[in-house]
Amino acid sequence: MNFRNLLVGALGAAAVVAAHAQSSVTLYGLLDIAPAVFSRSAAADERMVKLNSDTGSSSRFGMRGTEDLGGGLSAVFNLEAPIDPKNGAVSGGASSGSCNAAAGCATETAFWRRNAFVGLKGSFGEVTLGRNYTGAIIKQADTLSATPSGINTGLASTLLSQGLSNDFWNSNQIRYDSPRLGPIDFSVHTAAGEGGLGESVGGNVRFLQGPVAVSLSVQKDENLAGGNVTWTMLSGSYDFGKFKLHAGADTVDNSDGVLGFVDSTLWTVGASFKATNALTLAAQYWSVKEKVGAATTSKLLVLNADYKLSKRSALYVMFGSVDNKDLAISPLWGNQNFSGAGNVRVANDKNNGLAMGIRHSF
């Protein structure tokens, strides 16, 4: 009798352990901070020195989890918040996908502003519900950007000038990501537009075969304050081994004149070189032309050196040089770099920025 009770207890304990083994929650994050100097700001024609956060990668912390439901099916979730390591504040504003506050949307600052979704994953792919990256934007990062320290200076700063920073995330979104179908995968998303945030539908298809990667995205934002916006982006990369080449272009159709978006085109070319196992060097050139007014072209050159101290820690140097016309691009990305006395986006002038920092992920 005692032996039977012991056996039943042991089997029960084993079942509890097995149940816990089928479910996991991971706490993770990234911190990016760098002393930086800019040749001028929008407020003053003199050198500005500051502690710059998020120069290459966006600082964040979050939780992600998965539960094995059996038969190859899993439940997944992700909660992710931005953080400014300079002061510990939850950084960022109320950007809510296809429409921001500048476009007249009734947005609210959210703590889990970067991601807040739940979904199901299996052999069919993954379906997520909630606030998430739009499938159209995030799938472009690997092919469009050459800089190893992150996509902020370069990709994010030029897309910001076009207004596509409004489309990095959608609230109220349903997103589907396919599994790999040979060399192809794809992603589609839709957001119904509750709360006056504007409706959005879009997606991405990628071709991934050996050293070749090609990515095509299309997104349409509807019923925004002022009308509709449609944009298309194509990028590609070729990996030669130690040397990797990147190129891309986009076009933004804002013929309705929606506030916060710019009728414009972009093209870029860049490359990275793995000098050693730890050191990667990169350069990328960006050109953005607005299709309204004088139709001028603003240009950005980014130079980046990234040195891995370990799997999770790296030192980097980032240099950005802009020759701005009517459309203003920042030489380096950074929190508090886009308004007030710290604004480094200077229209119709040149500006340089140099940052030397550290990035740590956990």
- Alpha-carbon distance of 152 to 54, in angstroms, equals 7
pLDDT attached to residue 247: 98
- The closest of 113, 105, 103, 106 to 83, measured between CA atoms, is 113
In this model, does residue 360 exceed pLDDT 70?
Answer: yes
Domain contains 41: yes
- Alpha-carbon distance of 181 to 75, in angstroms, equals 22
Question: Would you place residue 1 in the very low, low, confident or very high pLDDT band (cuts 50, 70, 90)?
Answer: very low
Domain contains 12: no
Question: pLDDT tens digit string along 305-349?
Answer: 999 999 999 999 999 999 999 999 999 999 889 888 889 999 999
> How many domains are contained in the chain?
1
Run of H or E including 19: helix 2-21
Run of H or E including 121: strand 115-122
Residue range(s) defining the domain that contains residue 276:
31-361
- Alpha-carbon distance of 261 to 259, in angstroms, equals 6
pLDDT attached to residue 339: 86
| Residue 225, burial from CB neighbour count under 10 angstroms (0-12, 13-18, 19+) | middle
CB 266 within 8 A of CB 286: yes
Residue matched to tokens 């703590």:
111
More confident residue, 8 or 76: 76
Domain contains 188: yes
Question: pLDDT tens digit string along 63-106?
Answer: 999 999 999 999 999 999 999 999 998 876 555 555 555 555 54
Domain contains 262: yes
Question: pLDDT tens digit string along 335-346?
Answer: 889 888 889 999
Question: pLDDT tens digit string along 136-191?
Answer: 999 999 999 999 999 999 999 999 999 998 888 888 899 999 999 999 999 999 99
Question: pLDDT tens digit string along 202-220?
Answer: 999 999 999 999 999 999 9
Domain contains 2: no
Domain contains 19: no
- Alpha-carbon distance of 253 to 62, in angstroms, equals 35
pTM here is 0.90
Domain contains 63: yes
Question: pLDDT tens digit string along 272-294?
Answer: 999 999 999 999 999 999 998 89
Q: Compute the average pLDDT of residues 52-73.
A: 97
Domain with residue 230: its CATH number is 2.40.160.10
Return the structure tokens found at 51: 């502690």
- Alpha-carbon distance of 85 to 111, in angstroms, equals 16
Domain contains 56: yes
